[in-house]
Amino acid sequence: MQKIAIINQKGGVGKTTTTINLAHGLAKQNKKVLVIDLDPQGNIGMSLDIESEPDIYDVLINGVNPQQCYKKVDENFFIITSRETLTKAQMILVGEPSRETVLRRKLEPISDFDFVILDCPPSLGLLNQNALLYVDEVFIPASTDILSLKAMSNMIAAIKELNRVFKHQAEVTKIIPTLYDKRNKICKTTLKQMKETYGELVMDPIHASSKFKEAPGKFKTIFDYARNSRGAQEYRKLVDIVLGAEYFSI
């Protein structure tokens, strides 16, 4: 079971968009995928029109087994949703013993998936520390603008420090440039700098496209909303790389 956190302490950089589309793309390749929404904004459920309880709050605070929270989105594609109560969970967790590893303990019953993907909130707080201490791999979606680079180096330093303190090994394996517009000089410069700093970790950019804004309004992933669009092709390629496959089509 591959456990991946999609994380960046900046908001609006494409974390949720990447989570949903990567997950659905993997599911379409016959991988069984569970997405867990760890952001109190609950955008995963909202984008897919699934918002019922019990959800991740109940797992963390009310002792509900995570297996009781699976909601099926499509063949092989399941989610555990969140809602704004998760903010309260964070405050409750602060008082727990071993508060950074509560999630890891609570998610232990989950074993029947090929991929578990966590959509993380935009912070470096306790929920994200819990997320990082559950996963083996970290993907960082990063918008291609100037402020993004600084946020990313802070993020990577924080992950290293957490690994050191907790003797854990969550490894940043992919940086996914998002909201890319090649007519925009800043985008080009930022992508170049990302590649200079992080080399092969940097994936091909996901271009800015209105299709990504429209799809959640129809409760669809990019593959169901605009399967032949450039955006769908770009996420297909990411899926391909995650699977380590050379050729692949949906």
CA 133 → CA 26, 107, 166, distances in Å?
A: 23, 11, 8
Establish if 15 lies at the interface with Mg ion (CB under 5 A).
yes
How far, in whole angstroms, is CA 31 from its chain's centroid?
17
Phi, psi dihedral angles at 53 (to 5 degrees): -100, 165
How many residues touch Mg ion under the rule CB under 5 A: the total is: 3
Q: Which does 11 bind (CB under 5 to 8 A by kind): Mg ion, ligand ADP, none?
A: ligand ADP
Find the binding residues for ligand ADP in span 168-197 (CB under 6 A).
Answer: 178-179
Decide which of ligand ADP, Mg ion, none touches 17; Cβ closer than 5 to 8 Å per partner kind.
Answer: ligand ADP
Q: How far is the CB of 120 from Mg ion (least distance, A)?
A: 8
Tell me: does residue 17 bind Mg ion (CB under 5 A): no
Q: Which stretch in 10-18, 125-133, 172-180, 211-219 sits in contact with Mg ion by CB under 5 A? A: 10-18
- Nearest distance in Å: CB 97, Mg ion: 30
Minimum CB distance to ligand ADP, residue 186 (Å): 15
Burial of 94 (0-12, 13-18, 19+ CB in 10 A): exposed
Q: Is 203 in the site for ligand ADP (CB under 6 A)?
A: no
Among 51, 98, 27, smallest CA distance to 242 is for 27
Of 21, 123, 118, the residue nearest 73 (C-alpha): 21
Q: Which residue in the set 11, 65, 88, 150 belongs to the binding site for ligand ADP (CB under 6 A)? A: 11
Q: Applying CB under 5 A, does 16 fall inside the site for Mg ion?
A: yes
In the complex, minimum distance from the CB of residue 98 to Mg ion, in angstroms, rounded to a whole number: 27
CB of 207 to ligand ADP, least distance (A): 6
Closer to Mg ion by Cβ: residue 40 or 205: 40
Cβ within 8 Å of residue 217, ≥6 positions away? none
- Candidates 9, 17, 21, 144; binder of ligand ADP (CB under 6 A) is 17
9 binds ligand ADP (CB under 6 A): no
Minimum distance between the CB of residue 113 and ligand ADP, rounded to whole angstroms? 22
Which parts of this chain interact with ligand ADP (CB under 6 A)? 11-17, 43, 178-179, 206, 208-209, 212-213
> Which residues are at the interface with Mg ion (CB under 5 A)?
15-16, 43
